[in-house]
Amino acid sequence: MIQIKLKDGSVREYQEGVTVLDVAKDISPGLARATLAGEWNGKVVDIRKKIDEDGTLNLLTFEEEQGKKAFWHTSSHIMAQAVKHLFPKARLAIGPAIDNGFYYDFDVDKPFSTEDLEDIEKEMAQIVKENLELDRFELPRQDAIQYMEEREEPYKVELIRDLPEDAVISFYRQGDFTDLCAGPHIASTGSVKAIRLLSVAGAYWRGSEKNKMLQRIYGITFPKKSQLKEYMNRLEEARKRDHRKIGKELDLFSIQEEGPGFPFFHPKGMILRNQLEDFWRKEHGKRGYQEIRTPMILNRDLWIRSGHWDHYKDNMYFTKIDGEDYAIKPMNCPGSMLLYKRKIYSYRDLPVRMAELGLVHRHELSGTLHGLMRVRCFTQDDAHIFMLPEQVRDEIIGVIDLVDYFYKVFGFRYHVELSTKPEDSMGSAEDWDRATNALKEALEIKGLDYRINEGDGAFYGPKIDFHLEDCIGRTWQCGTIQLDFQMPERFDLTYVGPDGEKHRPVMIHRVVFGSIERFIAILTEQFAGAFPVWISPVQVKFLSITNRSDDTINKMMEDFGKDGIRTESDLRNEKIGYKIREARMEKVPYMLVVGDKEVENGTVSVRSRSKGDLGTMKPEDFKARIEKEISKKTLD
């Protein structure tokens, strides 16, 4: 007999060889149905796993991440089985579970159409109805290869060949379908109650464009129909908040055919930008940053010296001036280097914090462009901090605090990632270690949890990335802090130390918004266009009932304008309900209705975007209220 400790702390005794599923059945049939995978001594295991020793077992359901993954992994097998039924010549590549559902890559002669997806969905429903049990078996390497060769699955053969020597090669079989798979998988196909295939896309075999393009089908499944409905609603909500849609509706920005990836900012979008930039300037001024501006076009030699020519050329735009080669800046750092070098710094001057709202141009592949999120020119809220080696930690902490402050103003949650040395990089391994450790140390002092992204650093140094979480759970990379021991070397930056000798300063690159354009896109989606009052392009809209109040409204607008409140008026000969409807669709925070009554009493009737009718008040009182919200940057 063996002893198994469960999540709730209880311990149960079983015969050796009991499976995860047996334990679940023993507890309750309901739990057995809900159990999708197990966690045995901290490792995710298949529900068919035989247990031969004492240990701790967690039963994973759809509520747990790993339970979901098993459910979706099996769903991908069901999809592959359906595709094999309908398209026997399709060759199988890979089909994993992903964060939201699963996909499977197929090699087919003809791409799948939307009608094909419907047919596949129906076939999947049929497989689910048959409630096929999955069983797992293992084969030695040679037999496994032969098995897949017989089935004419060249991709599977390649996968098996690439498995490490000592790997257990396991297969899962459900009815007439067998797939090479490490698992885990759920017990049978019957628990998949709701299926939706979402899209087809091309995807390279093993993600490399040198390989053949396969057809990838994305899908999602759930144990309950209602969960699928909820998921589809969430997708719908995301579509409604799409910054491209809202940006058009609210007349914030556009991208014209004449400039793919080069956005145009409209008057109202400019107000947003300017508010963000004003805020940024003020906060950076407070923290000892000096603002600079460097040219957009600089000589090729500079880019060779900075290393961009070798490491970033494919993303750069070039031009010729008087027969000389110039590049349009993809980053602001080389310009800042030149400014640092314009004079001699003493150790007493450091740290020097040079900030620049710099417009950079980068050639991005046409297929990756996406509204303001992915563009070919954008404004980085950049800064380069030059410092003594012993100042590194505190400077990084200063930036972490600044980023934290900025994100909280907008009500964002975020998480942090640390990226280490990539393959294509400059500098010695020791420099990289030193830099990486400095970043780690700062994070640990701040008590921030972080994830490590191996090999994801910039070519000149490791970095900390800040990922914003928006209100529907998506994340966006915005702020970064990148340590750079290379650039000071390349540009021979120096400061004069207490010993009168020249020394090498350390430098960090950092951004808070990341890209102003992307940040505006994120804000738009976060607030669904209903921006906080302090950045709203229009803060107050005056609505008249009849043209008898036009003069009063015009006077009030002038008065509000003097105090820096952004107003508009709707004096058209329309009904008040119609004007309110329009102002609401424009997401204006406050509507002030002024009719005969208000003119007579010297009041305004206030209607808030979020709270509805607030009754009448004196214009001064309303002004005090909104001014307070603006200065406090209230989120509503």
Q: Which residues are catalytic?
A: 333, 362, 380, 382, 384, 463, 509
d(CA 259, CA 558): 38
Supply the minimum distance, in Å, between the C-beta of residue 551 and RNA. Answer: 13
What are the φ and ψ backbone dihedral angles of 319, each rounded to 5 degrees? -150, 165
Give Cβ neighbours of residue 40 (< 8 Å, ≥ 6 apart). 20, 49, 51, 55, 56, 57
Size of the chain in residues: 636
Q: Smaller CB distance to RNA: residue 19 or 477?
A: 477
Count CB atoms within 10 A of the CB of residue 178.
Answer: 19
Q: Smaller CB distance to RNA: residue 228 or 369?
A: 369
- Residue 183 — left, alpha, or beta (φ > 0 → left; ψ -120 to 50 → alpha)? left
d(CA 497, CA 347): 5
Q: Smaller CB distance to RNA: residue 61 or 380?
A: 380
d(CA 160, CA 141): 7
- Residue 528 — left, alpha, or beta (φ > 0 → left; ψ -120 to 50 → alpha)? left
Supply the minimum distance, in Å, between the C-beta of residue 114 and RNA. Answer: 7
Instruction: Report residue 153 as tokens.
Output: 């699955």
Q: Smaller CB distance to RNA: residue 46 or 116?
A: 116
* In the block, residue with structure tokens 């294509």: 424
d(CA 561, CA 37): 63
Q: Smaller CB distance to RNA: residue 154 or 595?
A: 595
d(CA 313, CA 376): 14
Q: Smaller CB distance to RNA: residue 253 or 491?
A: 253
Supply the minimum distance, in Å, between the C-beta of residue 93 and RNA. Answer: 12
Supply the minimum distance, in Å, between the C-beta of residue 485 and RNA. Answer: 17
What DSSP designation does 451 have?
Answer: E
Q: Smaller CB distance to RNA: residue 276 or 591?
A: 591
Q: What is the CA radius of gyration of the chain?
A: 30
Pick from 197, 174, 198, 169: which is nearest to 185 by CA?
174
d(CA 351, CA 334): 18
Supply the minimum distance, in Å, between the C-beta of residue 557 and RNA. Answer: 17
Q: Are 214 and 246 in contact (CB under 8 A)?
A: no
d(CA 105, CA 214): 6
Mode of pairing for the β-strands spanning 2-6 and 413-419: unpaired
Burial 19-52 (b: 16+ CB within 10 A, else e): bbbbbbeebeeeebebbbbbbbeeebbbbbbebe
Q: Smaller CB distance to RNA: residue 209 or 390?
A: 209
> Which parts of this chain interact with RNA (CB under 7 A)?
111, 113, 199-204, 207-209, 213, 215-216, 244, 248, 255, 257, 260-261, 362, 364-371, 373-376, 378, 380, 458, 465, 477-478, 480, 511, 514-515, 517-518, 545-548, 573-578, 580-581, 584-585, 591, 593, 595-598, 605, 607, 613
Supply the minimum distance, in Å, between the C-beta of residue 518 and RNA. Answer: 5
Supply the minimum distance, in Å, between the C-beta of residue 183 and RNA. Answer: 23
Supply the minimum distance, in Å, between the C-beta of residue 625 and RNA. Answer: 16
Give Cβ neighbours of residue 444 (< 8 Å, ≥ 6 apart). none
d(CA 564, CA 559): 9
Q: Smaller CB distance to RNA: residue 244 or 305?
A: 244
Supply the minimum distance, in Å, between the C-beta of residue 309 and RNA. Answer: 16
Pick from 196, 96, 178, 198: which is nearest to 137 by CA?
178
